């Protein structure tokens, strides 16, 4: 191919262009490709109709070659296909035919940022240089964009670090002064501010009070505690009402007679930004920052200050919730202490009254026993039977008193004294009382207590109360005509001997879900309301077993109604 006249070969020039890709309409690229190839450049041509992959434009350098017709009317509605595929508008070379006039209207229709207009044939000698300039401008523009992007990244990292530091401070401490003090100091030093204040809105929203104040170098006195009525300050009223930032870029723009001008002058500041602190529509206060010189406030910086205010609102809300919770916990603890003292006094009073009732009742029971025996000898069977009923009632009342004494036994009471006792001896009186009750309720009691059972270390009085409560419950919960079975034996469990006393009834059974609450005082299970009792029986049984280091097992009977309660006491 012959060199085009007037074109300096590439080898004789010192430039940056050695290889180039062209994409566009074949007719538009023909003259460009011939001219550049003649100048010693390696040229690749690609029909724009064949380009479908956006990755094609990642290869540099690349120039889109087109003609002015592509920018005619309807360009906005009918974009060339190449602009729809490219990730961003590529470099553009507009080849103008020799007889076409280059007008401002034509230039305005070119919808790409980087372009060169060349007249076909007439500007052939300058084509390579024009492309080099276009590429160089693009490179410089890219470098400037990259620099601006890196600066934005640094700014964003700095701002994120501030937000993270405030969040970390509020996480590690719920002391509001400590958290806000760290936040104001951080903002003041990072932004080279003159002062940073946090104002809290009072409950009636009539005034604001400075809660936290940071000053550069602590050169002047603190404003903490200073209160300003809202009606006297238009900026505060505006902030509270609109929840929009208040910005003063230059103090000189304010009215010299205004309160805002005077306040800034007193602070030694010439610029200010005030950001409302609010959460879910509730205004908490205002974050104020001032600078000693006039200052521009870009929109993204105002947005960041708003994010800081949101972070402060979270910290303030968390600290206040924690403070309210602490007050409530202290009030609950005080109330609990009062209740414990009241329960202790009530327990002492109950134990004292019950104890004082025991002696006269014991004397009455003894008198009834003597009188009954005397009447039996005298032959008055009717009176003796009446005395038997009275004696049973007296013994029942005496049992209730002993139960109460066991339940209200002081936690620091001395350990019970145990002595070797025959199980038949310990169970005789509870069984006798149960038989009286069984006759009245038409329930049969079957007893299997061998007389030759070995003695077991027991507190006889306490053991009798536990047995009496189990026997009494079994009789009361069994239906008329039912049977209660009592069995005592010595068994071995894990190599240790135990006295095992089981009581089986034919009642409604024991609720499985209530086993964990079995020893709760005054607890009446569902369906037991019609059965007389105080709700202390099983509490007494548990107290007795704890004193004897034993246990109580409860199980519903298999294949039939009722339940079985089993006492285990080390033998």
pLDDT in tens, 238-263: 888 888 999 999 999 888 888 888 88
Which two structure tokens, joined as six digits, stand for 530? Answer: 């019609």
- 166/183 Cα distance (integer angstroms): 6
Chain centre distance of CA 173: 16
Q: For the segment 300-335, what is each residue's pLDDT rounded down to a tens digit? A: 999 999 999 999 998 888 888 888 888 888 888 888
Is residue 102 scored above 80 in pLDDT?
no
Q: State the average pLDDT over residues 119-139.
A: 79
Looking at residue 222, what is its pLDDT? Answer: 74
* Strand residues in 494-558 grouped as ranges (E): 496-504, 551-556
Domains along the sequence of the chain with CATH: 10-144 (3.40.50.2300), 173-297 (3.30.450.40), 418-570 (3.30.565.10)
Q: State the average pLDDT over residues 384-398.
A: 70
Task: State percent of the chain over pLDDT 70.
Answer: 80
Judged by phi (left if over 0) then psi (alpha if -120 to 50, else beta), residue 262 lies in alpha
What are residue 92's DSSP bridge partners?
Answer: 64, 115
State in Å, rounded, how far the first CA of the chain is from the last one.
122
Which contacts (CB < 8 Å, 24+ apart) does range 508-514 have? 508/477, 508/561, 508/562, 509/556, 509/557, 509/561, 509/562, 509/563, 510/554, 510/555, 510/556, 510/563, 512/556
Provide the pLDDT confidence category of residue 126 given band limits of 50, 70 and 90: confident
Looking at residue 242, what is its pLDDT? Answer: 86
Q: For the segment 140-175, what is each residue's pLDDT rounded down to a tens digit? A: 766 666 677 778 878 888 888 898 888 888 888 878
Cβ-contact 344, 352 below 8 angstroms: no
Is residue 76 scored above 50 in pLDDT?
no
Which two structure tokens, joined as six digits, stand for 183? Answer: 């936040």
Is residue 13 scored above 50 in pLDDT?
no
Span of 50-59, 63-72, 354-363, 425-434 with lowest mean pLDDT: 354-363
Looking at residue 340, what is its pLDDT? Answer: 83
Q: pLDDT higher for 103 or 6?
A: 103
- 4/26 Cα distance (integer angstroms): 20
What are residue 499's DSSP bridge partners?
Answer: 490, 569
C-alpha distances (whole Å) from 357 to each of 350, 353, 457, 469, 474 are 11, 6, 29, 20, 28
Name residues whose C-beta falls within 8 Å of residue 460's C-beta, 6 or more positions apart in sequence: 419, 421, 425, 426
Looking at residue 363, what is its pLDDT? Answer: 64
Span of 23-37, 334-348, 510-524 with lowest mean pLDDT: 510-524
- Residue recorded with tokens 């080849």: 95
Looking at residue 522, what is its pLDDT? Answer: 59
Looking at residue 184, what is its pLDDT? Answer: 92
Name residues whose C-beta falls within 8 Å of residue 271's C-beta, 6 or more positions apart in sequence: 248, 249, 250, 251, 290, 291, 293, 294, 295, 297
For 377-438, give the DSSP string.
HHT-HHHHHHHHHHHHHHHHHHHHHHHHHHHT--TTSPPPP-EEE-HHHHHHHHHHHHHHHH
Most confident of the ranges 51-60, 250-259, 365-374: 250-259
Is residue 523 scored above 70 in pLDDT?
no
Name residues whose C-beta falls within 8 Å of residue 317's C-beta, 6 or more positions apart in sequence: 279, 284
Pairing of strands 282-291, 271-279: antiparallel
Q: For the segment 473-496, what is each residue's pLDDT rounded down to a tens digit? A: 899 889 999 999 999 999 999 889
Looking at residue 379, what is its pLDDT? Answer: 72
- 108/103 Cα distance (integer angstroms): 9
Q: State the average pLDDT over residues 488-510.
A: 91
Span of 300-304, 407-411, 444-448, 515-519 with lowest mean pLDDT: 407-411
Is residue 283 scored above 90 in pLDDT?
no
Task: State percent of the chain over pLDDT 90.
Answer: 22
Is residue 2 scored above 60 in pLDDT?
no
- Which stretch of DSSP H or E encloses residue 262? helix 259-267
- 418/3 Cα distance (integer angstroms): 127
Name residues whose C-beta falls within 8 Å of residue 282's C-beta, 6 or more positions apart in sequence: none
Is residue 516 scored above 50 in pLDDT?
yes
CA proximity to 120, closest of 92, 91, 100 = 100
C-alpha distances (whole Å) from 157 to each of 93, 160, 298, 311 are 40, 5, 17, 17
Q: Is the pTM of this model over 0.85?
A: no
């Amino acid at each position: 191919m012959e060199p085009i006249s007037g074109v300096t070969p590439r080898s004789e020039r010192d430039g940056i262009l050695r290889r180039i890709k062209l994409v566009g309409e074949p007719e538009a690229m023909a003259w460009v490709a011939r001219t550049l190839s003649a100048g010693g450049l390696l040229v690749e041509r690609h029909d724009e109709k064949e380009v479908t992959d956006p990755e094609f434009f990642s290869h540099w350098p690349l120039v889109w070659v087109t003609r002015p017709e592509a920018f005619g009317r309807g360009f906005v509605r009918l974009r060339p296909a190449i602009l729809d595929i490219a990730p961003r508008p590529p470099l553009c070379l507009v080849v103008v035919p020799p007889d076409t006039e280059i007008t401002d209207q034509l230039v305005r229709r070119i919808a790409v940022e980087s372009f060169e207009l060349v007249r076909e044939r007439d500007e052939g000698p300058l084509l390579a240089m024009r492309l080099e300039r276009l590429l160089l401008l693009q490179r410089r523009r890219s470098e400037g964009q990259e620099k601006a992007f890196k600066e934005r990244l640094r700014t964003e990292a700095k701002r994120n670090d501030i937000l993270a530091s405030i969040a970390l401070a509020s996480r590690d401490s719920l002391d509001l002064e400590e958290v806000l003090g760290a936040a104001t100091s951080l903002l003041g030093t990072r932004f080279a501010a003159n002062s940073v204040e946090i104002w809290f809105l009072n409950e009636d929203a009539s005034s604001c009070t400075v809660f936290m104040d940071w000053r550069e170098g602590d050169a002047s006195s603190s404003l903490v505690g200073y209160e300003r009525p809202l009606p006297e300050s238009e900026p505060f009223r505006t902030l509270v009402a609109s929840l929009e930032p208040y910005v003063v870029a230059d103090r000189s723009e304010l009215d010299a007679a205004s309160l805002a001008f005077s306040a800034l002058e007193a602070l030694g500041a010439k610029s200010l930004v005030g950001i409302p602190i609010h959460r879910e529509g509730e205004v908490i206060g205002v974050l104020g920052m001032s600078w000693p010189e006039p200052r521009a406030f870009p929109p993204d910086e105002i947005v960041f200050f708003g994010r800081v205010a949101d972070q402060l609102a979270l910290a303030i809300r968390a600290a206040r919730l924690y403070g309210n919770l602490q007050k409530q916990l202290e009030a609950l603890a005080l109330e609990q202490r009062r209740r414990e003292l009241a329960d202790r006094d009530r327990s002492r009073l109950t134990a004292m009254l019950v104890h004082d009732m025991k002696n006269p009742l014991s004397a009455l029971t003894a008198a009834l026993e003597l009188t009954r025996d005397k009447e039996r000898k005298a032959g008055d069977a009717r009176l003796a039977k009446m005395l038997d009923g009275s004696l049973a009632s007296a013994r029942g009342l005496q049992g209730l008193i002993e139960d109460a004494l066991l339940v209200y036994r002081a936690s620091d009471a001395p350990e019970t004294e145990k002595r070797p006792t025959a199980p038949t001896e310990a169970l005789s009186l509870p069984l006798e009382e149960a038989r009286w009750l069984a006759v009245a309720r038409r329930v049969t009691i079957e007893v299997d207590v061998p007389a030759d059972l070995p003695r077991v270390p027991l507190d006889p009085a306490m053991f009798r109360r536990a047995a009496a409560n189990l026997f009494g419950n079994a009789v009361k919960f069994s239906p008329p005509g039912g049977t209660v079975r009592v069995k005592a034996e010595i068994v071995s469990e894990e190599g240790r001997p135990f006295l095992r006393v089981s009581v089986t009834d034919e009642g409604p059974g024991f609720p499985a879900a209530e086993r964990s609450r079995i020893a709760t005082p005054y607890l009446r299970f569902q369906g037991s309301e019609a059965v007389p009792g105080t709700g202390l029986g099983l509490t007494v049984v548990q107290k007795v077993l704890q004193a004897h280091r034993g246990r109580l097992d409860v199980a519903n009977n298999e294949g039939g109604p009722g339940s079985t309660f089993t006492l285990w006491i080390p033998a």
